[in-house]
Chains A and B, each alone.
Chain A
């Protein structure tokens, strides 16, 4: 059901743009107003999210570790699995963000005969990392539309990505990779009944929106061509705040609309994991609660302690009356 709902939504996007630009000719609305509005929603929404998250107290360390924590010096500890200080936390975080380390531990459970068997299952990790790096490369590559002159590293990236010189304009490797990865991530949800059962429309919608973005981009580059010079004049106009909607095919506006929809949807959907990963208490806290006393809860106050000597001083008379021994050490001069 979720997949159908998401598919209908995405098809509705295409129809809306087709009617809006192709028939009604609302180029200004779809080319300028909606992208700016979507970017503002993205920017403000994401910052708002971060501030809201930062307001939530984390009164104790939530440690999910799968390695030996710091103990006696002769016990070998695992620095990455159970970081003890901030430096080790940063290392774990870098690997998490750049290598999706916790996803690498993904397991698959299957019932074989009477037994429940857990086995290694790296495909999700592979699909995820292929998708994310392809998407990031595509994002960087698009910087060529937002800069003049285009920085050398971006041009080199572009040429590496189109290294195989297939077709003209050259086919990008990342386009192939992201399509393959998206297809895997989508089929993975459909193929496994358990996964299909827990998948919601909000799981399919981002997938389909990115599908739409990628497919419209590939179609625009290789099939329904648009005048890329006009497109760049438009994109540079956007960042210079005097945009002029280009007279190009509807496919360009469909691409822009998918991007706008994705940006506006970002802060309200699972896509915020882009920022959420940095706010995960299970990832960003050191496992040192046995060594450091953490007192982060706002209502925590240091209790008043009373030493034995203070207590003895208070009840000295009663103690002597009842014949209790008095600790002379309290009266020794130090």
Chain B
């Protein structure tokens, strides 16, 4: 081999670069995200598979329908009527952003901008924190002046 002094470091650099995912994860445990599901409610807006796959598109459609078209009722595939609202409807069952939304969002490094405008429910920290108030009251009092 000619120029081994340059070629061999080059080969090593190439191999290290393309195997980055393998050696950076070596010895680390692969965590499995487990979002906490509500105990008292069994059915979400749509099926679990649908929600896992398409909740962001659904929420976007809701936002559009509410903000642009003043449509506030969603009819799901079973014919059930659902109030199109993140804070009043979704968060009614999923009471913790940290234990539900953030679990998977952090896992896949997604950065949804829901909370730029919406108020996440107050996290219960133990005996000292007060009960979660009616979310609508809180939302209207804390709503920022401008939002897109």
* Distance of A158 Cα from B111 Cα, bound (Å): 9
Are B53 and A50 in contact (CB-based, < 8 A)?
A: no
Asked if B107 is at the interface of the complex by the 8 Å CB criterion, the answer is: yes
Residue in contact with B22 in the complex, picked from A50, A54, A143, A239, CB distance below 8 Å: A239
Asked if A169 is at the interface of the complex by the 8 Å CB criterion, the answer is: yes
Give residues 42-61 of B contacting A (CB, 8 Å): 49, 52-54, 56-57, 59-60
User: Contacts A54-B2, A154-B109, A225-B53; is A239 near B14 (CB within 8 Å)?
Assistant: no
The 8 A CB mask of A209-231 against B (1 = contact, 0 = none) is 00000000000000001111110
Residue in contact with A148 in the complex, picked from B2, B49, B107, CB distance below 8 Å: B107
Contacts of B53 on A, CB cut-off 8 Å?
A: 225-227
- The residue of chain B having its C-beta at the shortest distance from the C-beta of A238 within the complex is B21
- The residue of chain B having its C-beta at the shortest distance from the C-beta of A240 within the complex is B30
Among B3-11, B84-92, B125-133, the one that faces the other chain is B3-11
* Distance of A222 Cα from B88 Cα, bound (Å): 27
Residue in contact with A51 in the complex, picked from B11, B21, B22, CB distance below 8 Å: B11
The 8 A CB mask of A234-270 against B (1 = contact, 0 = none) is 0011111000000000000000000000000000000
Contacts of B52 on A, CB cut-off 8 Å?
A: 227, 229-230
* Distance of A296 Cα from B2 Cα, bound (Å): 9
Are B59 and A168 in contact (CB-based, < 8 A)?
A: yes
* Distance of A108 Cα from B124 Cα, bound (Å): 69
Are A232 and B113 in contact (CB-based, < 8 A)?
A: no
The 8 A CB mask of B2-42 against A (1 = contact, 0 = none) is 11100100110011001111101100101111000000000
Are A229 and B107 in contact (CB-based, < 8 A)?
A: yes
* Distance of A207 Cα from B110 Cα, bound (Å): 30
Asked if A275 is at the interface of the complex by the 8 Å CB criterion, the answer is: yes
Q: How many residues on B have C-beta within 8 angstroms of the other chain's C-beta atoms?
A: 38
Contacts of B2 on A, CB cut-off 8 Å?
A: 54-58, 296
- For the complex formed, measure the closest distance between the CB of B86 and the CB atoms of chain A, giving whole angstroms: 13
Are A147 and B24 in contact (CB-based, < 8 A)?
A: yes
- The residue of chain A having its C-beta at the shortest distance from the C-beta of B111 within the complex is A159
Interface residues of B, dominant DSSP: helix
The 8 A CB mask of B102-134 against A (1 = contact, 0 = none) is 001011111111000000000000000000000
Are A50 and B19 in contact (CB-based, < 8 A)?
A: no
Interface residues of A, dominant DSSP: helix
Asked if B1 is at the interface of the complex by the 8 Å CB criterion, the answer is: yes
* Distance of A149 Cα from B24 Cα, bound (Å): 11
Residue in contact with B109 in the complex, picked from A46, A155, A167, CB distance below 8 Å: A155
* Distance of A66 Cα from B52 Cα, bound (Å): 59
Are A227 and B49 in contact (CB-based, < 8 A)?
A: yes
- For the complex formed, measure the closest distance between the CB of A4 and the CB atoms of chain B, giving whole angstroms: 33
Asked if A123 is at the interface of the complex by the 8 Å CB criterion, the answer is: no
Are B7 and A239 in contact (CB-based, < 8 A)?
A: no
Are A42 and B18 in contact (CB-based, < 8 A)?
A: yes
* Distance of A230 Cα from B48 Cα, bound (Å): 13
* Distance of A277 Cα from B112 Cα, bound (Å): 41
Are B21 and A239 in contact (CB-based, < 8 A)?
A: yes
Residues of B within 8 A of A (CB): 1-4, 7, 10-11, 14-15, 18-22, 24-25, 28, 30-33, 49, 52-54, 56-57, 59-60, 104, 106-113
Q: Can you offer 20 A-B residue contacts whose CB atoms are under 8 A?
A: A46-B18, A54-B1, A54-B3, A54-B4, A54-B7, A143-B20, A143-B21, A144-B109, A146-B24, A147-B24, A149-B106, A150-B109, A158-B111, A168-B112, A169-B110, A227-B49, A227-B52, A230-B52, A236-B25, A240-B25
